[in-house]
Structure 1
Amino acid sequence: MLLELHVWGPAFSLPSIDAQCLATMTYFSLVLPKDAWVLVASSDPSVSPTNELPALRSGATWVSRFRNIVDYLRQYSGGEWDLDRDLTGGERADNIAFSSFVESRGQSLVDLSLYVSSQNYWDKTSPAYGAILQWPNQWILPPKIHAQAKLRTEHLGLSSLDLEAIREQKDREHSAAVAAGKIPKTLIRNPRETVSTLLSKTSQQNQFRLEALTAEFFEPLESLLGHQPYFLSPDRPTTLDCLALAYLSLADIPDLPFSWLRDAMRSKAPGLTAYTDRMRRHHLGLEVKVIDALSATSTSSTSSPSLPWQAPERASFATLGKTLYDTLADSTPILKHIRLNNRLREAALAPHSGLSGKESKAVSAYALARKHDLYLSIGSVVVSLAALVGYMAHIGLVGFSLAEQEVPSGTDPDPDADIDAVVDAGQVGDFLSML
């Protein structure tokens, strides 16, 4: 049975714009026979039931995320497709520890470089997504990915790399100062700084923090690699090499306007730079173009022959309709929370969720309880509104309004009705205070 690996498409001359997808591609190219799998640049998370990429399709089974896919391949092949099968106990421990280190620290740096740094995002990253996405995803997905990256790196205190955030903050401070009367109206001005001015200021403000973050990531890996061809084994790569190649490639290869991450890697870790270039040539290809993935007919000599591209299917009208519906539903407050709870429960109950049976049940129960609480809140609001309308009808407030509209012409209205309405309005206030 042919395995299908669905990934985000090529960007920056790499076969994918996503690190997890690059790591999974590398793993497949190292352990699977060339005729056992195909690579599909679908660039659409909705193809997977978990709404995530990379996603492996094996018959009716779908598996998402690098670690889950590696575990599935190990079980599927009876241990034959296991890149770490020859590691000793100590090497396995190092493999797990450094793999987690690469994923956590590497993802933060890639997020800061490709997404949070505004000039890089708008000049390079956003157009790269536009080249691989179909309508309407090219308008829907990039803002979501951008927002998620900013949220993941918020704890690092480097949001000032985002020029839009700086400008919005300046606007808020200016508006607050005006509202507080601190600035005379005759002197109210709101100058707009240029991109180059903001970049120079943020570069100075963030230089020391970025220096520390890049050193914390590159130096341990440079020391671990030493003069070996691979990180943990002198003769064969491991899953750590797959992950390291993915994140280091996204740090070194993209040609960005604000190339602080690439500059830091080349100056602090020349060994990692040479390692990345060598591994990339052998396993990912020197230069992969979008046409290589979308048409799957390119015969460019620079494209790696080890990547068995298969052209993705064009989105059907049903798929487009579902995408638009999902977008609208995720933008509606009540539906958004219901759908989030459903996704959390489905992810927890998935066979390859990475959770133990007890943890899976606990997360599922939590998601179900949140969903029930939401339904209870909606029901309480509906009952309260129905009770309010019923009480207003009972005391005649609603009836009085209708009656006032139906008074025949030439008839004098009852002067006591206005007094009764005022009294009844006071009763409605008492009723509202008791809710």
Structure 2
Amino acid sequence: MVLQLHVWGPAFSLPSIDAQCLAAIAYCSEVLPKDSWELIASSDPSVSPTGELPALQNDSVWVSRFRNIVDYLRQYSEGDWDLDQNLDEVQKADSVAFSSFVESRGQPLLDLSLYVTSQNYYTNTSPAYGALLQWPNQWILPPKLHAAAKTRTEHLGLSSLDLQAMEDQRQREHNAAVASGQIPKNLLPSQPSTVSKLLGRTAQTNQFRLVALTADFFEPLEAMLARTKTYLLPADKDNETPSSLDCLALAYLSLALVPDLAFPWLRDAMRSKAPLLAAYTERMRDRCLGEDSTPAQAFKPEEPSKLPWRAPERISVSTVGKTLLGTLADNTPFLSEVRQNRRLKRAVEEDESFSSVEKQALSSYADASTKDMFVSIAAVVAGTAALVGYMVQVGLLSFERRGADEEEFEEDVGMSHFEPESVNDILGI
């Protein structure tokens, strides 16, 4: 069977809007024969049993996440489809360490650039998702991804890049001050703050932190590239073949360099601080990803291209229903916790980076959390039932039915059909 790689679809002239998907695409384009795999811009995590993209499908086998896909291809091909097969033990250890560095430092910067920065999210990122997704996902998934990115970057102290949230908070504080009488109404501003005003207030605060974050990510990779000249970690002695680390780095660096955003602070930082890295990214992009990609090319592949695009299947009624029910469950307090614990357990079991002891501990935690929640629900139900029973016993609640004689009497005097026509009827005037 032909391998199928399901990914988030094209955006910003790149084959995918997601870094992990771009890394998987770059690796497959390097290591797989072109007629042995298909690239499908499904843009729907529910197509995979793991609920994640990228997802590699081989008949009934599904594998998610870049590193797991790399390991699966190596095992499935018995070492033939492995860019790192010529690396020695030290180089393999370096590959693991730098891959972790790229993911841990690169993802927060992409979150800040594409999602947290309000100008970029509302002007570029959100419309890009709108071009990829079908109903109802186009209304459900972008806000979830936006919220997840904001949560992942809260610890960086750069929430001021989210101008919409800043303006909402300012408006709430302003309304509270007015309501308490702290600000006279005649001093209220006639016009709300503009984007340029908000940017002016936060630019200096953001500048120092962004400079530190971008330098922390770009400078080590720039220094590493200055030594190797061609690739971050060449996979052969002639420095002609990239490694899996290069594919992963390409994904994060291309999403930093290529998108033409309304507020391109990340691209500007890369070009000024790491010119070798910028040139490397363009070179790797031409080699692994080919020409510019568009949603039309992915959804209706007609002309031949470097990547083996295959049109995704049309969304079915059952899939729409499943998506709506899943969204409802995720927003229902008890059901959302059950689903989160199940996702955690499944992710831990499939992630090879965890040891057996860690897997057992995290799985036990997920099971215990689910059990505790059900015990809490049972306790609440039992307590409510006991309270209702007590109130009935002492006479605070009564469920007695009226007798037939009472109903006949009301019908005779017309009480059951009494409808006053005016206030005078009610007052008896």
Shorter-chain TM-score above 0.5: yes
Look up the SS of the partner of 1:309 in the other structure: coil
Mapped to 2, the partners of 1:393 and 1:245 lie a distance apart of: 69
Mapped to 1, the partners of 2:400 and 2:179 lie a distance apart of: 41
Mapped to 2, the partners of 1:336 and 1:221 lie a distance apart of: 40
Q: CA deviation at 1:394?
A: 0.4
Return the match for 2:256 from 228, 232, 251: 251
1:62 aligned partner: 62
Look up the SS of the partner of 2:397 in the other structure: helix
Look up the SS of the partner of 2:398 in the other structure: helix
1:18 aligned partner: 18
Report % sequence identity.
62
Decide whether the 8 Å contact of 2:329 with 2:336 is kept in 1.
yes
Q: CA deviation at 1:331?
A: 1.1
2:425 aligned partner: none
Decide whether the 8 Å contact of 1:174 with 1:190 is kept in 2.
no
1:50 aligned partner: 50
Q: Which amino acid aligns with 2:67?
A: R
Look up the SS of the partner of 1:144 in the other structure: helix
Choose 8-17 or 271-280, whichever is displaced more.
271-280
Distance change (3 Å), C-alpha of 1:254 and 1:161: same
Q: What's the TM-score, normalizing by structure 2?
A: 0.89
Q: What are the residue-to-residue correspondences of 1:292-311 with 2, within 5 Å?
A: 292-299=297-304, 305-311=305-311
1:269 aligned partner: 274
2:165 aligned partner: 165
Choose 165-174 or 275-284, whichever is displaced more.
165-174
1:237 aligned partner: 242
Q: Which amino acid aligns with 2:199?
A: L
Q: Which amino acid aligns with 2:169?
A: Q
Distance change (3 Å), C-alpha of 1:289 and 1:185: closer
Look up the SS of the partner of 2:290 in the other structure: coil
Look up the SS of the partner of 1:399 in the other structure: coil
Look up the SS of the partner of 1:38 in the other structure: strand
Q: CA deviation at 1:38?
A: 0.6
Q: CA deviation at 1:173?
A: 2.3
Q: What are the residue-to-residue correspondences of 1:54-203 with 2, within 5 Å?
A: 54-184=54-184, 187-188=187-188, 191-203=191-203
Mapped to 1, the partners of 2:157 and 2:384 lie a distance apart of: 44
Distance change (3 Å), C-alpha of 1:76 and 1:183: same
Q: Which amino acid aligns with 2:148?
A: Q
Q: CA deviation at 1:401?
A: 9.2
Q: Which amino acid aligns with 1:165?
A: A
2:418 aligned partner: none
1:382 aligned partner: 381
Q: What's the TM-score, normalizing by structure 1?
A: 0.88
Is 2:337 aligned against 1:337?
Answer: yes
Q: CA deviation at 1:262?
A: 0.6
Decide whether the 8 Å contact of 1:291 with 1:298 is kept in 2.
no
User: Structure 1: any 5+ residue segments left out of the alignment?
Assistant: 300-304, 411-435
Q: Which amino acid aligns with 1:228?
A: K
Decide whether the 8 Å contact of 2:291 with 2:306 is kept in 1.
no
Mapped to 1, the partners of 2:384 and 2:110 lie a distance apart of: 49
Decide whether the 8 Å contact of 1:3 with 1:36 is kept in 2.
yes
2:417 aligned partner: none
Write out per-residue CA displacement over residues 304-355 of structure 1, whole angstroms, 9 at most, x where no aligned residue: x3311111000111111101111111111111112112222222333x5532
Mapped to 2, the partners of 1:231 and 1:342 lie a distance apart of: 37
Look up the SS of the partner of 1:127 in the other structure: helix
Q: CA deviation at 1:289?
A: 1.2
Q: CA deviation at 1:228?
A: 1.2
Mapped to 2, the partners of 1:176 and 1:41 lie a distance apart of: 47
Mapped to 1, the partners of 2:96 and 2:407 lie a distance apart of: 85
Q: CA deviation at 1:191?
A: 4.8
Q: Which amino acid aligns with 1:378?
A: I
Decide whether the 8 Å contact of 2:32 with 2:81 is kept in 1.
yes
Mapped to 1, the partners of 2:165 and 2:117 lie a distance apart of: 11
Decide whether the 8 Å contact of 1:231 with 1:241 is kept in 2.
yes
Q: Which amino acid aligns with 1:101?
A: F
Decide whether the 8 Å contact of 1:347 with 1:353 is kept in 2.
no
Mapped to 2, the partners of 1:141 and 1:127 lie a distance apart of: 12
Write out per-residue CA displacement over residues 78-107 of structure 1, whole angstroms, 9 at most, x where no aligned residue: 111111111122222221111111111111
Look up the SS of the partner of 1:358 in the other structure: helix
Q: Which amino acid aligns with 1:162?
A: D
RMSD of aligned Cα (Å): 2.2
Decide whether the 8 Å contact of 2:23 with 2:247 is kept in 1.
yes
Mapped to 2, the partners of 1:329 and 1:364 lie a distance apart of: 22
Decide whether the 8 Å contact of 1:14 with 1:285 is kept in 2.
no
Q: Which amino acid aligns with 2:333?
A: P
